[in-house]
Chain A
Amino acid sequence: MSGTKKLALRQRYEYLTRGLDWETTYQPMDKVFPYDSFEGIKIKDWSAWEDPFRLTMDSYWKFQAEKERKLYAVLDSFAQNNGQTTISDGRYANVLKLFLTGISPEEYQAHRGFAFTGRHLRGAGARVAAQMQSLDELRHLQTQVHTISHYNKYFDGIAEWPLMHDRVWYLSVPKSFFDDARSAGPFEFMIAIGFAFEYLLTNLLFVPFMSGAAYNGDMSTVTFGFSAQSDESRHMTLGIEIIKFLLEQHPDNLPIVQKWVDKWFWRGHRLLGIVAMMMDYMLPKKVMSWKEAWDIYFVEAGGALFQDLGRYGLKMPKYADIATAEAEHISHQNWAVFYQYTHAAAFHTWMPDNEHLDWLSEKYPNTFDKYYRPRWEMWAKMEKEGKRFYNPALPQLCQTCQIPMAYTEPGDPTTICFRSTQYKGDTYHFCSDGCKDIFCDEPEKFVQAWLPVHQIFQGNCGGATVPDVLKWYHMNVGADNMDYVGSPDEKLWNEWHAEKLRQAG
C-alpha cells in the first residue's frame, strides 16, 4: 500500500477537469461567447462557481444505463400484465394525455435550452452542468414517450402529441412559456428554467403527476417519475447554484435577477394552473388539493427559500400574494374552461359526481360552495336535460400567458379580470397585472406571440370553422375530444371491467 493520502472527491474532480476553460487565442473570447453579456449580468470570477455535481461522463453513462434497464423492465412487465386495466379508473388516462401533450414536449424544449446555454456560458463548471442537464431532459422525454406509448394502444388523444403541441390552443400555454425562456439570453434561461422551474416550482409541477400516478395504480408512470427525479438532484442543485452565483458576483446583478424571478414566478404560476386542475378534477383518487399543495410547497418551502434569499436583498416574487389567493380559485376556473371547450380539447372532461363535489367543498371551504358548486350543479342538471353546455365562441387570450381570459379579479371572484395596454397603436389584452407587467417590460418580444385564436381568425389554422381547425389539429373528432361519458375510452374501460367481473365469477 502506498502511503499517499487519498484525494477528496473535490480534488479528484478538479484534477480531472483542469484546463477545460482555456482562454482562446486565435478568436477573441467575446466572439466565442457572444451571448453572455447583453443581458447586463456581470461575472467577475467564473472560477468561484461551485460545480454542484462533480460527475464524469463515464459515470454519467453508467448511471443512466442502469436507470434505463430498470425502467424498461418495469414498462415491459406493466405491458405484459395489462397494467392499463388495473389503473383506478378510465378517467385517469386523461391525466396522461395532459402530461404527454403539455409537459413532455417541454422536456425536449428544456433539452434544447440547456444545450444552447451549455454552449454559451463562459465558465466550465456551469457549462458542464448545463450540458449534462440537457442530456437528462432528452432522456426524460424519451422515457415519457415510451411509457405512455403503451397507453396509446388503448386510449385516444395521445397519438399526435408532437403536432398537437405545436398547434392546439391550450398547448400554446406551455409551448410559449418555453419559447420565451429559450429565446432569452443564457442567464435568463438559467433563472427561468434552472431556478424558477426546476427548483422553486418543481414540487408543484412534476411531483403531483407522479404521486397522482402512484395513487391511481399507474406503476409505469411512477417508475419514469423515479427515474427522472434521480436526475433532479443535479438540476435542483444547479438552480440553487446559479442564483447564488449571480447574486454574489456583482451587486448590479440583483435588480436583473429580481426582475427575472418576478417574471418567471408569475409565468410558472400561470402554467401550473393545468396541474391545479389535474389534481382537483382529473385524478380519480385524489392525492391532496391544489390549495394544500400550494401551501406546502410554495407558501412554506418557497417562503423559507425567499427568507434565505432575502439575505442577498432578493425579495419575494412580485404578486406572490395574488398567486396564493388564486390557489382558492384557479383549478375550478380552469376546469370550467375545459368543460366549456371540451369539443376542442384532446382529452375528456366530466362534471364531478356528488362524492367528488363534497371533497371539493371540504378542501375549499372558503370558495367552492359559494362560487363553483352551484355552477357545476347547474351544468350537471343541463346535461341530464340533454342541454349540455358548450361555448361556441372562441375565447380571448392573454397576450403573455396565452390562457383564455377566464380568471377573476383579485378579491372579486365574480368579475373577470381584464387588463390592457397600448403599444405602437395596437391594444394588447392580459389576464392579470402580472402578465401585463411582463409584456410592458419586453413589448417587442410579446407582440410576436403566436396566439392560437388570432391565428385561427387570420386563417392560418386550417379553415374558418371549428371542424376545419380540429382537422388541422389532427384531432380524431368524437374519440379524442368531448365528454368522458359516452367516449370510446369509457366503453373500453367498461368492457375491461365487465370482463374482470365475469372472470371473478
Chain B
Amino acid sequence: MSYQLTVEPVGETIEVEEGQTILDACLRQGIYLPYACGHGLCGTCKVEVVDGEVDHADASSFALMDFERNEGKTLACSARLKSDATIEADIDEDPDQRRIPIQDFAVTVEKLDNLTHDVKGVRLRLEGKSIDFQAGQYVNVTLPGVDGTRAFSIANPPSENGVVDLQIRLLPGGKGTTYIHQVMKEGDKLNISGPYGRFFVRKSRGGPLLFLAGGTGVSSPRSMIIDLLAENYAEPITLIHGVRARADLYGNDEFEALSKKHPNFRYVPALSSEPEDSEWSGARGFVHDVAVQLYDGLFEGLTAYLCGPPVMIEACVNTLMRGRLFEKHILTERFLTANDEKKSTRSPLFKTL
C-alpha cells in the first residue's frame, strides 16, 4: 500500500509507502527538505499539510506545538501518510523548473546501435504521443522479466519529442542492462514513464556553463547542450567528457561538429587510462583533473552540471569546491547502479551534493 504525496512549492508528486516517513520518501526522491535530528525532537523539518491526512507519530509536543497541529503543521521526519496528501515545505521554487506531469508511454524499440563495445544507443518511438520534458531529465523503463524499473537519462533534446534516445552501458551482472544488451531487439514493445528529475539547466541564471560527464553520463549533457545551442545561448559552454580509453569514446564527431559551428562551445574528450604510447593527442586524465588544467583550478563564476557515476561526481564536487565553486552553483545527476553501495552516513551540511 502506498500513497501519493505532492510537495509544494516544487510541485513534484512522489510515492510514499505505508509507514514510510515523508522526509524519507522525499530524500529518496531527491527532494531536499531541511532536517536535523531526524526523530521528531528539533522541528527543523516542519511542513504544512495543505491537503490529506497524516499521523504525527513520535513528533515531540515541544517540537510540534498543539497550535501548530491545529494549523495543519507536521514534522516530515516523523509524519506518515494516512491518505494521499499535499504538503508545503520551506524549499525553494526553482524559476527554471517547469511543471510537467509525469505520464506513462507505450514505446517501440525503433533502433539499436552499438555506440562502443559496451554502450548501446536505444531509440524508443512513442506510440501516438509526444513527450514534454526538460533537457537533462530521465525516464523510468519497465523491462520484461526484470523487477522494478530502470532509470535512464534522455539523450535527445526536447525538440525531438516523438522519440526517447537512451545510452546504456552494459553493467556486468546487471539484470536490466544485460536484458537491453542481449535480449532486446528492434520492434520490441515497452512501457516507460517520465519525465523525472531536477537535473536541468538553470537558464535564468545565465553565465558560463561547465558540463562534466563520465561515461554514459554524457547523455543528459548532450540533450542540454543541443537545446542551449539551438536557443543561441551566448555564454561560453564547456563539456568535458571522460571515458577510460579511445575505444570507450562515442559521440565525439557530433560534439566536434557542434563546436565548429558554435564558437562559444568547447568540447574536451578526456581519456583516463589510454595507453601512453597511443596516438591520442587529446586530454588525458580524469574529468576533474582535466577541469583543473583547463580552468587553472579556479571555477568561481561558473555553473557546473555533473552527470555520471558517484565516484566521478564526488571527485568533481571536491575539485570544484576547492576551486571556490559552491553548492548553489553545482548541479548533479548521479548514475546509481545496484552495485553502488548505499550512501554512507552524511552530515546535514549539504542539501543536494
Contacts and interface: CB of A to CB of B under 8 A. Distances in A.
Interface in A287-315: 300-301, 303-305, 307-313
Interface stretch (B38-46, B170-178, B188-196): B38-46
Given A66-B65, A230-B62, A237-B44, A311 B317 contact: yes
Contacts of B324: 248, 251
Contact of B322 (A66, A70, A240, A313): A313
A230 B63 contact: yes
A159 B159 CA distance: 77
Contacts of B43: 230, 233
A232 B42 contact: yes
A312 B321 CA distance: 6
B344 interface: yes
Contacts of A54: 90
Interface in B85-106: 88, 90, 92-93
A227 B318 CA distance: 39
A236 B60 CA distance: 18
Given A8-B93, A300-B345, A312-B321, A229 B61 contact: no
Contacts of A227: 62
A226 B40 CA distance: 10
A304 B9 contact: no
Which of B60, B61, B62, B65 counts the most chain A CB atoms within 10 A?
B62
Nearest to B353: A311
B62 A70 contact: yes
Contacts of B336: none
Interface in A230-265: 230, 232-233, 236-237, 240, 244, 248, 251
A301 B317 contact: no
A146 interface: no
A475 B233 CA distance: 77
Contact-residue size bin, chain A (C-beta under 8 Å from the other chain): 20 to 34
B42 A67 contact: no
A9 B37 CA distance: 22
A63 interface: yes
B66 interface: yes
A310 B349 CA distance: 11
B34 A226 contact: no
Given A63-B65, A66-B67, A240-B349, A304 B344 contact: yes
Contacts of A67: 62, 65
A307 B43 CA distance: 25
Nearest to B92: A10
A248 B326 contact: yes
Interface string B249-263: 000000000000000
B300 to A, nearest CB: 10
A387 interface: no
A487 to B, nearest CB: 35
A54 B90 CA distance: 9
Contact of B349 (A10, A233, A300, A309): A309
B314 to A, nearest CB: 9
Interface string B162-201: 0000000000000000000000000000000000000000
B37 A301 contact: no
A62 interface: yes
A10 B92 CA distance: 7
B92 A308 contact: no
Contacts of A305: 347, 349
Which of A227, A233, A236, A308 counts the most chain B CB atoms within 10 A?
A233
B348 interface: yes
B349 A236 contact: no
B25 interface: no
A67 B61 CA distance: 9
B264 to A, nearest CB: 28
B65 A233 contact: no
Interface string B302-333: 00000000000000011001101010000000
Question: Majority SS of interface residues in chain A?
Answer: helix
Contacts of A9: 88, 90
B28 interface: no
Contacts of B60: 226, 229-230
A236 B42 contact: yes
B350 interface: yes
A229 B90 CA distance: 21
A233 B36 contact: yes
A233 B36 CA distance: 7
B277 to A, nearest CB: 36
A10 B93 CA distance: 10
Contacts of A236: 36, 42, 44
Contact of A304 (B41, B321, B346): B346
B350 to A, nearest CB: 6
B315 to A, nearest CB: 11
Contacts of A309: 347, 349
A304 B345 CA distance: 6
A229 B34 contact: no
Nearest to A203: B37
A309 B322 CA distance: 11
B62 to A, nearest CB: 4
Interface in B180-237: none
A232 B44 CA distance: 9
A95 to B, nearest CB: 20
A233 B347 contact: no
Contacts of A313: 322
A45 B36 CA distance: 26
A444 to B, nearest CB: 34
Contacts of A300: 345
A70 B346 CA distance: 34
B319 to A, nearest CB: 9
Contacts of A244: 349
B344 A233 contact: no
A220 B329 CA distance: 47
Contacts of B321: 311-312
Given A233-B43, A311-B321, A8 B9 contact: yes
B288 to A, nearest CB: 12
A226 B349 contact: no
B344 A311 contact: no
B66 A66 contact: yes
Given A66-B66, A66-B67, A230-B43, A8 B61 contact: no
Nearest to B88: A9
A313 B88 CA distance: 36
Interface string A266-292: 000000000000000000000000000
Contact of B92 (A8, A307, A310): A8
A240 B348 contact: yes
Contacts of A240: 348-349
Interface of A: 8-10, 54, 62-63, 66-67, 70, 226-227, 229-230, 232-233, 236-237, 240, 244, 248, 251, 300-301, 303-305, 307-313
Given A305-B347, A308-B347, A309-B347, 4 more contacts: A62-B67, A229-B60, A301-B347, A311-B322
15 contacts: A8-B93, A10-B90, A10-B92, A62-B67, A67-B62, A70-B62, A226-B60, A226-B62, A226-B63, A229-B60, A232-B36, A233-B43, A244-B349, A303-B345, A304-B345
